[in-house]
């Protein structure tokens, strides 16, 4: 069976939708060590499915890998594929977390979706799966929730 060619190192357009996006995974070089890998995506955009107005968020994804790591270019392309899609904050945040968990089968994964206020109210969405191994240091996600001035 031929080895699947990664998107890394070659021109790859942004997928038309999350369903068409391909998430690549690579072998974890430290499978016997518990550690946290973090991706922070400060320019996440999705369209409101009711008003078609854009919603903006910072996504923070933390996970403790087993055998696999998500390849960062494919993750960036996948997250950018939401920008013209209609989805509520809760729908896209949880779907991203579940897709990554299904691909990577990590020991533990959490995602925080910190959405900018629109219509006067921010919505932050949090989802996690698995059990955080004892003794693993996980810093705060570092994104302040919205505070009115």
- Residues 101, 129 contacting (CB under 8 angstroms): yes
Q: Among positive and negative, which fits the CA dihedral 22, 89, 80, 110?
A: negative
| 48/42 Cα distance (integer angstroms) | 18
| Beta-carbon count within 10 A of 144 CB | 9
| 146/142 Cα distance (integer angstroms) | 12
Catalytic one of 24, 55, 62, 92: 55
92 a catalytic residue: no
Catalytic one of 48, 62, 124, 140: 48
Q: Supply the residues annotated as catalytic.
A: 48, 55
């Amino acid at each position: 069976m031929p080895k699947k060619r990664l998107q890394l190192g070659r021109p790859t357009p942004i997928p038309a939708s999350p369903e068409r996006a391909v998430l690549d995974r690579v072998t974890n070089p430290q499978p016997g060590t518990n550690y946290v890998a973090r991706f922070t995506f400060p320019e996440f955009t999705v369209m409101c499915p009711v008003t078609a107005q854009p919603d903006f968020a910072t996504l923070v994804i933390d996970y403790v890998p087993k055998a696999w790591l998500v390849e960062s270019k494919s993750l960036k392309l996948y997250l950018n594929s939401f920008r013209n899609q209609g989805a509520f904050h809760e729908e896209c945040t949880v779907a991203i977390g579940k897709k990554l968990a299904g691909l990577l089968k990590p020991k533990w994964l959490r995602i925080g979706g910190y959405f900018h206020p629109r219509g006067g109210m921010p919505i932050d969405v949090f989802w996690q799966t698995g059990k955080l191994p004892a003794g693993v240091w996980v810093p705060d996600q570092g994104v302040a929730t919205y505070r009115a001035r």
